[in-house]
Amino acid sequence: MLCFQCEQTDRTGEVPGCAGALGNCGKDSGTSDLQDLLLYAVKGIAQYAVRARDLDAPDDEAAGFILSSVFTTLTNVNFSPTRFVALLREAAAVRDRVRARYEEAARARGLDPRPLSGPAAFEPAPDMPGLLGQAAVARVDHGIALVGPDITGLRALHLYALKGICAYAHHAHVLGRHSEKVFAGVEEGLAYLAESPTDANELLARAVGLGHLNLAVMELLDAANTGTYGAQQPTAVRCTPVAGKAILVSGHDLKDLAAVLEQTKDTGINVYTHGEMLPAHGYPLLKAYPHLAGNYGGAWQDQQKDFAEFPGPVLMTSNCIIEPHARYRRRIFTAGPVGWPGVRHIANGDFTPLVRAARALPGFTEDGPEQFITVGFGRDAVLSVADDVIGAVRRGDIRHFFLVGGCDGPTPGRDYYADFALGAPRDSVVLTLGCAKYRFNRHDFGEIGGIPRLLDLGQCNDTYSAIAIASALADAFGCGINDLPLTLALSWTEQKAVAVLLTLLALGVRNIHLGPTLPAYLTPALVQELVDRFGLRVVGDAGTDVAAALERA
């Protein structure tokens, strides 16, 4: 096992990365190896898929499989070795189907189909020891002795961006939105990695290209969410319980939440959101359910305490799951890409077992004190008051905008983001998205002329809103995004944040404060390259960074 894909990775050894028996997230070595092998197999599908698509014989079902199976390998998504073995077998079958399509399409055009090598020729071993034995070729540092750590790091950057892209594209796909451009981009990116590229400039250029692809994916996801559930509306969300039976839904998948709400209608069971599901309260078609009762707990790293204390079942719909404690192991369920050994998985959208568990558990015996968090400032809500915002900037009432968002996490240094948001001057507005906001979203930031000083744009999945708002402001002021009085402080944990970062870099956004540490797979030379080309900054002291941002403006 070697895994260095997330911010939690082990940095104590000479070579950074989680190695040995267990990663810092709780992923065991065998599962990590199976994940690597699945990615290898998926690259093999992509090798044929690119060629089939070139011959007008795309296999969109295979593309959907690529998205969902890559999603299972993100940090804190799936820890179940049996699921990975099943996915590996399915991947080989999907690859065979795509290969047959390619061969048929080639022959139909009088071409001689070429058999491919590398991942495209991978055949999973029949048993676990065999599979684990095959994993060496799929390791993230495979070939490092030949190509060196810079190329290895750039390949990793490419792979992790693709992971984030696949996760976001999967969320759009389950809501019925996909595009040929996105499918083709993902397949091309994976097929490119299958060739073990060694050109640093090309790898970096392609990584930035993936930022553009991710922008298309974020736009697709925005259209999927707002097209299905309506545009987010400013909404005060109760963050204390009400008496009654209760279900807690965590993760990012709005479709799963909608299904739970529909299946608990008129049952007297209340549904609560946890972690990244908080912004769901802003969507008209979701908040229309009167039993969407409120938000419970904090960000994902608080889940072991939150879930243990919650008096009902819990559903994890995407990242970030942590090893379930005995206190709630029998009442937690997973859905979609998520998995944990021994935890019940609901694969078909029928949440009857969850509802049954809620009926059998005590629920809340009394109401908590009334407390609220306001969410729902997606692009439509913010742009509907764009004239007020622009006027406030022109009058000097709003001096600066800070976007403080991304992932939360257990590693030290994340208080920076709370210090940064809370340290923003009173004549500035703080935009936020992702789960990092739990460090400051209960604080009363006040208003500037009726405009709330804290605007929650949504999940990390809602990054498109931030880009749309920044672009609209830039248009209104007749300048570029970098000329706006806007500073970004990004917190990252997992691979979706990598895709978002590359999108911002692809758009030319400079001077982003990134932390709490930089990715371990980026060598000092690669970091310097990003600093030189994009003005990327590692977070420092929050007060100093806020002051420097105001000075730069």
Which residues sit at the interface with ligand SF4, rule CB under 6 A? 3-6, 8-9, 18, 23-25, 27, 32, 75
Q: Coil, strand or helix: which one is 489?
A: strand
User: Considering beta carbons, is residue 235 or 319 the nearer one to ligand FS2?
Assistant: 319
- Omega before 516 cis (within 30°)? yes
Tokens (6 digits) for 158: 């490419």
Residue numbering of the annotated binding site: 3, 6, 18, 25, 252, 276, 320, 407, 435, 460, 494, 496
At closest approach, how far in Å is the CB of 221 from ligand FS2?
12
Tokens (6 digits) for 412: 């030290």
* CA 496 vs CA 176, 240, 320, 385, 537: distances in Å: 21, 30, 12, 29, 19
DSSP tag of 324: P
User: Considering beta carbons, is residue 196 or 411 the nearer one to ligand FS2?
Assistant: 411
Identify the residue among 177, 255, 453, 496 touching ligand FS2 (CB under 6 A).
496
Choose the one of ligand FS2, ligand SF4, none that binds residue 264, judging by a C-beta under 5 to 8 angstroms depending on kind.
Answer: none
Choose the one of ligand FS2, ligand SF4, none that binds residue 496, judging by a C-beta under 5 to 8 angstroms depending on kind.
Answer: ligand FS2
Identify the residue among 40, 183, 296, 300 touching ligand FS2 (CB under 6 A).
300
Residue type, 86: A
Count of CB atoms situated within 10 Å of the CB of 483: 11
User: Considering beta carbons, is residue 27 or 496 the nearer one to ligand FS2?
Assistant: 496
DSSP 423-473: HS-TTEEEEEEBGGGGGTTTS---EETTEESEEEEESGGGHHHHHHHHHHH
User: Considering beta carbons, is residue 149 or 339 the nearer one to ligand FS2?
Assistant: 339
Residue numbering of the annotated binding site for hybrid [4Fe-2O-2S] cluster: 252, 276, 320, 407, 435, 460, 494, 496
- Most distant CA pair in the chain, distance: 73
At closest approach, how far in Å is the CB of 131 from ligand SF4?
18
Should residue 494 be labelled a site residue for ligand FS2 when binding is judged by CB under 6 A?
yes
Residues 149, 151, 153, 156, Cα dihedral to 10°: -140
User: Considering beta carbons, is residue 7 or 545 the nearer one to ligand SF4?
Assistant: 7
Name the residue number minimizing CB distance to ligand FS2: 407
- Does residue 515 contact residue 416 with C-beta atoms inside 8 Å? yes
Choose the one of ligand SF4, ligand FS2, none that binds residue 84, judging by a C-beta under 5 to 8 angstroms depending on kind.
Answer: none
Should residue 434 be labelled a site residue for ligand FS2 when binding is judged by CB under 6 A?
yes
Span 382-421, contacts to ligand FS2 by CB under 6 A: 407-408
Choose the one of ligand SF4, ligand FS2, none that binds residue 8, judging by a C-beta under 5 to 8 angstroms depending on kind.
Answer: ligand SF4
Rounded CA separation 457/431 (Å): 7
Which range binds ligand FS2 by CB under 6 A, 140-148, 155-163, 235-243, 492-500? 492-500
User: Considering beta carbons, is residue 3 or 67 the nearer one to ligand SF4?
Assistant: 3
Residue numbering of the annotated binding site for [4Fe-4S] cluster: 3, 6, 18, 25
Q: Which of 224, 225, 217 is nearest to 184 (CA)?
A: 217
At closest approach, how far in Å is the CB of 3 from ligand SF4?
3
**At which residue do the structure tokens 């694969």 appear?**
347
At closest approach, how far in Å is the CB of 134 from ligand SF4?
19
Should residue 276 be labelled a site residue for ligand FS2 when binding is judged by CB under 6 A?
yes
Whole-angstrom Cα Rg for the chain? 23
* CA 390 vs CA 383, 385, 397, 405, 463: distances in Å: 10, 9, 10, 22, 21
Should residue 435 be labelled a site residue for ligand FS2 when binding is judged by CB under 6 A?
yes
Choose the one of ligand SF4, ligand FS2, none that binds residue 6, judging by a C-beta under 5 to 8 angstroms depending on kind.
Answer: ligand SF4
Q: Which of 169, 205, 208 is nearest to 187 (CA)?
A: 169
Tokens (6 digits) for 352: 């009857």
**By the criterion CB under 6 A, which residues form the site for ligand FS2?**
275-276, 300, 319-320, 407-408, 434-435, 459-460, 493-494, 496
